[in-house]
Amino acid sequence: MARRGTPSTGALTAAAAAVPGRRERRKQATRAALRAAALRLALRHGVENVTVERIAAEADIAVRTFFNYFASKEEAVVAGAAAGAEALIAAFRARPAGESVLRALRQAVLEVIDQGDAVSREYIRATWLIGRTPSLLPYQLAVLAAQEKALADAIAERLPPGDGHGIYPALCAATALTALRVVLARWLEHGTGPDDAPPVSVLREEVDRALAELAAGLDRPGSA
């Protein structure tokens, strides 16, 4: 039996399993390099003027290696938005179990926003580009479906067991992610480009307002 205050063998094993090995870290780094290169070139030249060969050269990676990670240049460009959503879902899962769903989601969103790291910057820049490039929309839809499924699973895990969640996790995930995309798009509209957005404090206020609307319920009386 482990002594009080000492991690058990099972806990140590789980912690070790959560840390990716060297091979996995190299794969993650390669994927991130390709994703960043694709987005950088697309912002600079337009998606239609970028090729897989240029992306691979920009990332200093072989063309054949590109196709181990992405099926097309569009998928690589949109991957920046997917990475931001993955960070959001990971932050949501890490919130204390006693928090309500929307409270945990709010805190997770603000945490990702405040980090200001490469992933959050990529998410903002990719979202800006997707909104202005119709050819990326089908690829975004595929990403959104995966995001909604992952968040719905995380929401279901947070709810008390055995109470029959029904449609709630999927509906909440879809509604919340849609609200966040609307907020981010509105925020970006007030800037001149993906690297010239309004202050983050404005985005925080808009996130709070959107989630408050969801918490209050969307039904309102019609006009007489």
C-alpha 141/C-alpha 138 separation (Å) is 5
Tell me the pLDDT tens digit for each residue of 136-180.
989 988 888 999 999 999 999 999 886 667 899 999 999 999 998
User: What DSSP assignment string belongs to 178-198?
Assistant: HHHHHHHHHHHHTSSBTTBPP
Work out the mean pLDDT of the chain and round it to a whole number: 85
| The predicted structure's pLDDT at residue 2 | 43
Q: Which residues contact 118 (CB under 8 A, 6 or more apart)?
A: 32, 36
- Under 8 Å between Cβ of 84 and 112: yes
- Under 8 Å between Cβ of 76 and 53: no
Secondary element (H or E) of residue 54 = helix 52-59
| The predicted structure's pLDDT at residue 22 | 85
| The predicted structure's pLDDT at residue 131 | 86
C-alpha 177/C-alpha 175 separation (Å) is 6
Amino acid at 2: A
For residue 146, the SS3 value is helix
C-alpha 19/C-alpha 23 separation (Å) is 12
Q: Which two tokens stand for residue 41?
A: 């070139």
Query: Band of the pLDDT at 200, cuts 50, 70, 90?
Result: confident
Residue 216 clears pLDDT 60, i.e. is over it:
yes
Q: Which two tokens stand for residue 90?
A: 């990971």
Residue with tokens 């949501």: 92
Residue 94 clears pLDDT 90, i.e. is over it:
yes
DSSP E strands in 83-156: the ranges are none
Residue 223: other Cβ atoms inside 10 A: 4
Reduced to 3 DSSP states, what percent helix, strand and coil does the chain have, rounded to the nearest 5?
75, 0, 25
